Amino acid sequence: MADIDEDELLADLGLEVTPLKAASRTPREERIIAGFEDILRFHQAHGRAPLHGEGRDIFERLYAVRLDQLRRLPEAQTLLAGLDGPGLLSGAATTQTDVSELDEDALLAELGIGVDGGAKPADQNDITVLRHVRSRVEKREAEEIADRTPCADFDKFQPLFEQVERELKAGLRKTLRFGRDASIVSGNYFIVGGQLACVAEVGETIKAPNGESDARLRVIYANGTESNLLRRSLQRALYKDENGRRLTDPDMGPLFGDAPEPDDIATGTIYVLRSLSKHPFVAEHRELIHKIGVTGGKVESRIAGAEKDATYLLADVEVVATYKLHNLNRTRLENIFHRLFGAAQLDLTIEDRFGHPVKPREWFLVPLHVIDEAVQRIRDGSITEVVYDPKTALLVG
């Protein structure tokens, strides 16, 4: 049989040969279409366009960025017009990513399209991969980490951490998995990243980019550092940390009750003292500086010789208030006052009779009327519902 090519053979069989139609789209256009089809599938599954927002699925957020960039690409408007039945490209771009400074090649790189119109290498050819700009995920992680700096006034917080550790060992505090109660207020203690942390201050309420409320915190860590991360960042860090814990407030137990406990005293007195020291700071704030104590004996006996005792600022004191209580647990009661007014503890160092520096405790910058309210709340059991706000000098719920 004579040699015959394929076309002649097909013609002998009565079959018409139709040349294959040349591809009408470039590889770059195919990539744009493929990327938009992902967005269309999302729209079909969810009934809406993909949206930005930290609480949303990572792929939805990446699709939202991709859609915004397609809306900015003139070529895409024409190329995708026949596919855009839902009108997704007609919406306004909402991404916070600044693409205005990117040239066409860089913008196409953001969409996963090679400069030469072809696909990128296998590890970079996903249209959901962003380049040239830091992603929102990276920004969020950076915010969650937050730079820690040395705490300049850590000596004020160290006694509080020591007290908290003692309360944990004594069973007065418990650790709970973070989640059921996600609130964060001043005076709260947490374990995050293996560190004991105290929320020393909560700033003014601000609006996060997603419209929800947030606030800047001052968080002190037991290792002597601090950070100013956002409240929602601390919440996320606690959620993500398998060992993240909230510390409960001290278990007040039955401060007043019928069943005696080892540290109970039948009748006791809460006393509030005011110093007569001539120290410049004490003299200036005398009406605000108070020492709170508990005794099972006479207050007069307790304060005898105050002018020789650094505990009393090496000066005479005056008793400005006393409260008689019955069947009270002294340790738990003192823990209450330290927890409540710890953030307002007097930061003052004086020299004792031998010239040694001493930092007296149990002195607080708290108005007398607030101490009175605290005692009344101890009596009615509502003390656990409030914290002391040093800025307003009030007990707040």
Instruction: Tell me phi and psi for residue 198, to 5 degrees.
Output: -120, 130
Examine the domain organization and report whether 295 and 361 are in the same domain: yes
In this prediction, residue 116 carries a pLDDT of 44
Tell me the CA distances in angstroms from 117 to 104, 120, 121, one per residue in order: 12, 9, 13
Q: How far apart are CA 339 and CA 344, in angstroms?
A: 10
Across 381-390, average pLDDT: 81
Domain membership of residue 138 (yes or no) is no
257: in domain: no
Evaluate whether residue 389 is within a structural domain: yes
What is the residue-wise DSSP string for 88-116? Answer: GGGSPP---S--TT--HHHHHHHTTB-TT
pLDDT attached to residue 93:
57
Q: Among residues 197, 214, 247, which one ends one of the domains?
A: 247
Q: What predicted TM-score, i.e. pTM, was given to this entire model?
A: 0.38
* pLDDT band, very low/low/confident/very high, at 107 (cuts 50, 70, 90): very low
Q: What single letter denotes the amino acid at residue 286?
A: R
Lowest-confidence segment of 20-34, 48-62, 204-218, 291-305 by average pLDDT: 20-34
Write the CA distances from 339 to 148, 211, 344, 374, 387, integer angstroms: 25, 34, 10, 12, 9
Q: How many CB atoms lie within 10 A of CB 272?
A: 22
Looking at per-residue pLDDT, the higher value among 392 and 118 belongs to 392
Residue 277: pLDDT over 80: yes
pLDDT at 298: 86
Residue 253 placed within a domain: no
8 belongs to a structural domain: no
The reply to whether 121 and 29 lie within a common domain is yes
Q: 226 with 301, same domain?
A: no
**Is the CA virtual torsion 157, 160, 166, 172 positive or negative?**
negative
Q: What whole-number percentage of the chain has pLDDT above 90? A: 15
Same domain, 114 and 233: no
For residue 221, being part of any structural domain is answered with yes
- φ, ψ of residue 255 to 5 degrees: the values are -60, -35
Domain count for the chain, please give it: 3
Q: What pLDDT shows up at residue 251? A: 54
Which of these three, 72, 104, 133, is where a domain ends? Answer: 133
- Residues 77-87 have a mean pLDDT of 86
φ, ψ at 285 (rounded to 5°): -115, 30
The pLDDT value given to residue 327? 64
Q: Among residues 278, 247, 246, 255, which one has the least CA distance to residue 350?
A: 278
Q: Note the pLDDT tens digit of each residue in 297-354.
A: 888 888 888 888 888 888 899 999 998 876 666 777 777 888 788 888 888 888 777 7
What is the torsion angle, in degrees rounded to the nearest 10, for the CA atoms of residue 57, residue 60, residue 64 and residue 67? Answer: 170
What pLDDT score was predicted for residue 213? 82
Instruction: Look at residue 367 in the predicted model and tell me its pLDDT.
Output: 93
How many other β-carbons are positioned within 10 Å of the β-carbon of residue 162? Answer: 11
Q: Identity (one letter) of the amino acid at 143?
A: E
Q: What is the mean pLDDT of residues 257-265?
A: 49
Residue 12 lies in a domain: no
The reply to whether 272 and 392 lie within a common domain is yes
Residue 104's pLDDT is what?
44
What's the rounded Cα separation, in Å, for the pair 53 and 336?
41
- Judgement on whether residues 107 and 162 belong to the same structural domain of the protein: no
Tell whether 280 is covered by a domain: yes
**Predicted confidence band of residue 95 (pLDDT cuts 50, 70, 90):** low
- Among 215, 247, 279, identify where a domain stops: 247
Domain identity same for 182 and 242: yes
**358 and 241 within one domain:** no
Looking at the fold, whether 96 and 172 belong to one and the same domain comes out as no
What's the pLDDT score for residue 219?
94
Least-confidence region, from 39-48, 162-171, 220-229: 162-171
pLDDT of 128 strictly over 70: no
Distance CA 49, CA 64 (A): 8
Strand pairing category for 245-247 and 189-192: antiparallel
What pLDDT, on a 0 to 100 scale, did the predictor assign at position 132?
37
pLDDT at residue 293 greater than cutoff 80: yes
Rounded distance between C-alpha atoms, residue 328 and residue 254, angstroms: 8
| pLDDT computed for residue 252 by the predictor | 46
Are 234 and 296 within one domain?
A: no
For 198-248, the pLDDT digits (tens) are 999 998 888 776 677 888 999 999 999 999 988 988 998 898 888 889 998
Q: Which domain holds residue 320?
A: 264-396
- Model confidence at 9, in pLDDT bands (50, 70, 90)? low
Task: Judge if 119 and 43 occupy the same domain.
Answer: yes
Residue with the two structure tokens 């007069």: 300
Same structural domain, 269 and 387:
yes
